[in-house]
Amino acid sequence: MRFFNTEGPVRPEDHYLLPPLQRWDLDEVLTLIEQKKYFLLHAPRQTGKTSCLLALVEHLNREGCYRAVYANLETAQAAREDVALAMADIVQTIADEAQRQTGASGLDALAREVLALNAPTRALRAFLNQWCERSPQPVALLLDEVDALVGDTLISLLRQLRAGYPQRPEAFPSTLVLCGVRDLRDYRIHASSESEPITGGSAFNIKAKSLRLGDFSSDEVMALLDEHTKETGQVFTAEARDRIWTLTLGQPWLVNALAYESCFDIPEGRDRTRPIDIALIDRAKENLIQRRVTHLDQLADKLREPRVRRIIEPMLAGTALGEIPVDERDYLIDLGLLRRSGGSGLEVANPIYREVLPRTLAGGPQDSLPQISPSWLTPTGDLDPEALLDAFLAFWRRHGEAMLGSAPYHEIAPHLVLMAFLQRVVNGEGALEREYAIGRGRMDLCLRYRAVTLGIEIKVWRPSASDPLPDGLVQLDAYLSGLGVDRGWLVIFDRRPGLAPLAERLRVDETTSPSGRRVCVVRA
């Protein structure tokens, strides 16, 4: 039985799949190859790049006009800036893959010869030169994980390829595809041999084009889900199908992971007579987040990088970005964390990532929480909003200031501690949804627990700013209207200097929104 794939390239005999060559403009790719162009393919991790490259190699070799070879250069990353070791790895990798994929003989001996007779800074060029001279057809070389290389190793690779470019197609690859997460323009090569970073464009100015592999469309998501139904008879309800699209916006790994979790990991989903419904999809989503599966953990790990923090922190706070260099913004897009969306500018790439980012950042505060008795629950296990407010005030009065230091992003430390507290409240029985974006001036939270829906808006009173209460009431009013509820919290964290201790200034006022909804204003 085939299944949804979440590890490595797709295999038609094992996996449900969309034909890889249909995921990009094949006519454009073949035209670039016919014109002997060198070009790039880039996209976030686990979006199908390698599957597309392997399918292209198979297509080219089947057509017979080219000797096409795919090689993954990732193992050379371990050499770091040891150019000799890295080039030996790269040359031997290409030789091995060329022999395996095309049946060419003698390339292993050629690799040993050129490595013995040439300086590391010209060994790759010499190997490609002699291989292509021996090849009965022009060579199409597809190199994956190129941006895993660093420093002098990456510079040497790019410059050797550029140096051999004029000899194509008789004595160098006719066409070359470099593949990785980032576009070449975003390469900032920090080499020990150079005083300033070298850009990819300056080291490899023969690039004809950069192609980006996109996410699945809505129709492609539905087609992939239909593969499972055709094979097993198990259907996804219309609501479940819509939910998968809404949560993932077509991010390929997320689509496959949600479907696999709901159909193969959750016991109820293994019953092929039971439809996959929206409840199973929501359980699958929560399972993936709680398990910190590798894909999500890799994204979360990026939050430690200063250039990522410079954008994600103000985004979570709802403030403007300020002067962030365009290459840093593009870097987060290439990672797949953010996307540009029409007139709304930068936003988190999909709702699952939008939930993972703040939950990851709130992980430290959540682990630091003291033991809290669930005094907010009624005897029947339902949520009592008034009791929850009392519990939060008691927690904040006693532990709030001390816990701010456990938050990794100082500017949004209060947000993260509050989210950590509320995540403990939902504790698998409910859900905590988050809405935030650059320039919104706030973060909105929606706590759902059985029949209770509680809307919460977080505002920050910053130095030299006026009281955010008036704007907050208007904004919360609109948020509560969208949730369809008539009461909520407006939490104002006062970050101005020279204030009284938190326990002394913490208070709650009851007021109404412009439309008459009940609002508890918490000043903390």
Helix 120-134 and helix 107-117: axis angle, to 10°?
Answer: 150
- 54-69 residues labelled b (16+ CB within 10 A) or e (exposed): bbbbebbbeeeebbbb
- Dist. CA 214–CA 230, nearest whole Å: 26
pLDDT at 14: 97
The model's pLDDT over 438-480, given as tens digits with 9 standing for 90+, comes to 888 899 999 999 999 999 999 999 998 999 999 999 999 999 9
pLDDT at 198: 57
Label residue 46 left, alpha or beta by phi (over 0 means left) and psi (-120 to 50 means alpha): left
pLDDT higher than 60, residue 22? yes
d(CA 268, CA 377): 29
CB 177 within 8 Å of CB 53? yes
Q: Is the pLDDT of residue 255 over 70?
A: yes
What is the rounded distance in angstroms from the CA atom of residue 183 to the CA atom of residue 9?
21
- Three-class SS of 156-223: HHHHHHHHHHHHCCCCCCCEEEEEECCCHHHCEECCCCCCCCEEHHHHCCCEEEEEECCCCCHHHHHH
pLDDT higher than threshold 90 for residue 206: no
Whole-number Å distance between alpha carbons of 16 and 224: 7
CA dist., res. 187 & res. 151, Å (int): 10
Q: What is the side-by-side strand order in the sheet with 67-72?
A: 67-72, 139-144, 175-180, 38-42, 207-212
**Bridge partners for 316 per DSSP:** none
What does pTM read for this prediction?
Answer: 0.90
Q: How many CA within 13 A on the CB side of residue 170?
A: 2
Query: Tokens 């996804």 belong to which residue?
Result: 236
Q: How confident is the model over 126-135, as a mean pLDDT?
A: 97
Dig out the tokens for 54 from the structure: 């392997």
b/e string for 15-51 if b means 16 or more Cβ within 10 A? bbbbebbebbebeebbebbeebbbbbbbbbebbbbbb
Strand pairing category for 198-199 and 452-461: unpaired
Mean pLDDT across 12-31? 96
pLDDT of res. 183: 81
Residue predicted with more confidence, 400 or 419: 419
Position with higher pLDDT, 275 vs 210: 275
Is 80 exceeded by the pLDDT of residue 116? yes
Given this model, what pLDDT does residue 199 score? 54
Q: Is 71 helix (H, G, I), strand (E, B) or coil?
A: strand
Structure tokens at 388: 């929850």
Find the largest Cα–Cα distance for the chain. 83
Q: Count CB atoms within 10 A of the CB of residue 180.
A: 25
Q: Using one digit for the tens of pLDDT, what is the confidence trace for 261-273?
A: 999 999 999 999 9
Residue 247 has pLDDT above 70, yes or no: yes
**pLDDT tens, residue by residue, 35-51:** 999 999 999 989 999 99
Q: For residue range 171-203, list pLDDT tens digits in order.
A: 999 999 999 988 876 665 554 555 555 555 556
Mean pLDDT of the chain: 92
What is the three-class DSSP state of 36? coil
Q: Which CATH number is 20-212's, of 3.40.30.110, 3.40.50.720, 3.30.360.10, 3.40.50.300?
A: 3.40.50.300
Residue 132: name the closest of 90, 176, 100, 84 by CA. 176
Query: Please, which pLDDT band fits residue 299 given cuts at 50, 70 and 90?
Result: confident
Q: Residue 71, by phi and psi: left (phi above 0), alpha (psi -120 to 50) or beta? A: beta
Residue 325, pLDDT above cutoff 70: yes
Task: Enumerate the β-bridge partners of residue 123.
Answer: none
**Helix (H) or strand (E) run with residue 511 in it:** strand 507-512
Q: What is the pLDDT of residue 186?
A: 60
Report the 10 Å Cβ neighbour count for 278.
17
Q: Cβ(39)–Cβ(28) under 8 Å?
A: no
Cα separation, 363 vs 211, whole angstroms: 37
Residue 490 β-bridge partners: 457, 521
Q: What are phi and psi of 182, to 5 degrees?
A: -100, 150
pLDDT at 111: 98
Spatial contact of 210 and 355, defined as CB atoms under 8 Å apart:
no
Residue 27 — pLDDT band, cuts 50, 70, 90? very high
- Report the 10 Å Cβ neighbour count for 358: 26
* In the chain, % of residues over pLDDT 90: 78
Residue 428 scores a pLDDT above 80 = no
pLDDT mean over 126-149: 96
The DSSP secondary-structure symbol of 44 reads S
The predicted pLDDT at position 170 comes to 96
Alpha-carbon distance of 139 to 207, in angstroms, equals 17
Q: State the virtual CA torsion across 295, 297, 299, 305 in degrees, nearest 10.
A: -150
- Predicted pLDDT of residue 41: 94
The pLDDT-based confidence of 343 (bands split at 50, 70, 90) is: low
